[in-house]
Structure 1
């Protein structure tokens, strides 16, 4: 039974790319600790990487974890990164706030500011921001990707082209040692490139798990990013890579 369950978990994660602990507990009608032991065993064998709330395939290229999984993966680090990035925003700023789970945590901290103009293509982020009375919030239209709860496509790109903003705050799909920020979804990647062109300053938010990941789409070289905010677990070589690119690295603590 033990080996059959672990083989089944391995088959499931190879198909779904990510799995959640609570889903596995319900699926196999066993305890949390039993599933944790299974995941530890499979991780030691190199089949998966355990993350907060579940597990994912190691070094996924071109396959993005589901949004609901990303909401809980490395949540502690995402909150720390968001908090460290918040002081770079000032009253009166205009900004693009791009889709993502780390940028969602960042949006929740903006209530301390006044008179911000924010354009976003994320429905969850817009839902947070509309509760802040002193903000001017624009929802970027376009095709809604249901799994991501965000807009992209030619209508989104046309809208982005109508604005010039002070700052772009963006998440990333991956950062690689060739010095590139990468992402998974092609239409969202196009929208992100447009935002970069229309912004005076670029702030990227990336917890440690985003490094040494090369997703399908090249977004921009690290040299295009003014500030990258990460956590203390960032792989050491990236401190040199970012310095050589001229990108300021901020470590969240």
Structure 2
């Protein structure tokens, strides 16, 4: 019986999963395991390296850096269409007059854009870009958490930020992430940012994790929590089998764009 060919996204997820397990694989190994040409694998590896999901080496691919995120300007445009589709989907599940946390990230910023025309939202955020976007609608109330501003991307972090976030209890926390390990761990690159995300997760009645497929299997240094801590995963492609199994076992839905 001949198996169905994998889609482009499925193949790239499999490449990330294999490299995560092995540490390094040659292009020839990857091509053989995926049953495609070396030229196809080379294009996949180039794309994955551009997204920060792998490191490209001469003749092969290895793990991406777990200590440094890509530049904010680059993150804004990587998988932009996917982020917009995810944002539109999560916005459908946010009722009018809800209270929301929205944290740091380019996908959460797209979620803010998708929510811009809503009435009566109460938003608490530590993301200057989210506050700026939502300020265009006078019917949305915004609380901007105080703290130290990270100039490169408008993030606000630090202990004063955490203490302020802890004063609220919101209906929904819309949270972005830098990496989801295949064991279900949620990771990011900056401890101060992670402490803020953890405060949001603790103080949200429901947690909507918004992330595109490039975060599956992507390494990052600081642990935020576990995939089973969330209420729903909004993404643009089915997660790898280990993550999908955990979500299924705990009843956490995976919400994909139409």
TM-score class, shorter-chain normalisation, is 0.7 to 0.9
Distance in 1 between the 2:138 and 2:51 partners?
A: 39
Partner of 2:185: 180
Q: CA deviation at 1:45?
A: 8.8
Query: Which residues of structure 1 form unaligned runs of 5+?
Result: 1-39
- The reply to whether residue 197 of structure 1 matches residue 202 of structure 2 is yes
Number of aligned residue pairs: 212
1:163 aligns with 2:168: yes
- State which of 43, 46, 50 in structure 2 corresponds to 1:49: 46
Aligned residue for 2:21?
Answer: none
- SS of the residue 1:84 aligns to: helix
Deviation for aligned residue 1:158: 1.0
* Structure 1 SS opposite 2:256: strand
SS of equivalent residue, structure 1 residue 218 = strand
What TM-score results when the alignment is normalised by the length of structure 1?
0.77
Deviation at 1:242, TM superposition (A): 1.7
Contact 1:51/1:74, CA 8 A, preserved across alignment = no
| Alignment match, 1:127 | 132
- Asked if residue 73 in structure 1 is aligned to residue 78 in structure 2, the reply is yes
Q: CA 1:183–1:90 in 2, change beyond 3 Å: closer, same or farther?
A: same
Residue 104 of structure 2 corresponds to residue 92 of structure 1: no
In structure 2, what is the Cα distance between the partners aligned to 1:176 and 1:57? 12
**Aligned equivalents of 1:81, 1:252: Cα separation in 2:** 6
Kindly state the Cα deviation for residue 176 of structure 1 after the two structures are TM-superposed: 1.1
Residue aligned with 1:169, SS: strand
2-structure distance, mates of 1:55, 1:174 = 12
Deviation at 1:173, TM superposition (A): 0.8
Conservation of the 8 A alpha-carbon contact between 2:117 and 2:137:
no
1:179–1:241 contact (8 Å) kept in structure 2: yes
Q: TM-score, normalised by structure 2?
A: 0.76
Relative contact order, CA 8 A, sep 6+: which one is greater? 2
Q: How far off is 1:76 after superposition? A: 1.0
Residue 81 of structure 1 contacts residue 207 of structure 1 at CA under 8 Å; is this kept in 2? yes
C-alpha offsets along residues 162-196 of structure 1, whole Å, 9 cap, x if unaligned? 11111100111111111111111110000110111
Kindly indicate whether the alpha-carbon contact (under 8 Å) linking 2:183 and 2:242 is maintained by their aligned counterparts in 1. no
Match of 2:240 among 232, 235, 253: 235
State the SS of the aligned residue for 1:182: strand
Corresponding position of 1:25: none
- Please, what is the CA RMSD of the aligned residues? 2.3
For 1:88 and 1:162, locate their aligned partners in 2 and report how far apart those are by CA, in whole Å. Answer: 25
Residues 164 and 57 of structure 1: is their aligned pair in 2 closer, same or farther, counting only changes over 3 Å?
Answer: closer
Question: Aligned to 2:137, what secondary structure does the other structure show?
Answer: coil
Unmatched runs of 5 consecutive residues or more in structure 2:
1-37, 55-63
Whole-Å separation in 2 of the counterparts to 1:82 and 1:95:
14
Q: Distance in 2 between matches of 1:148 and 1:168?
A: 20
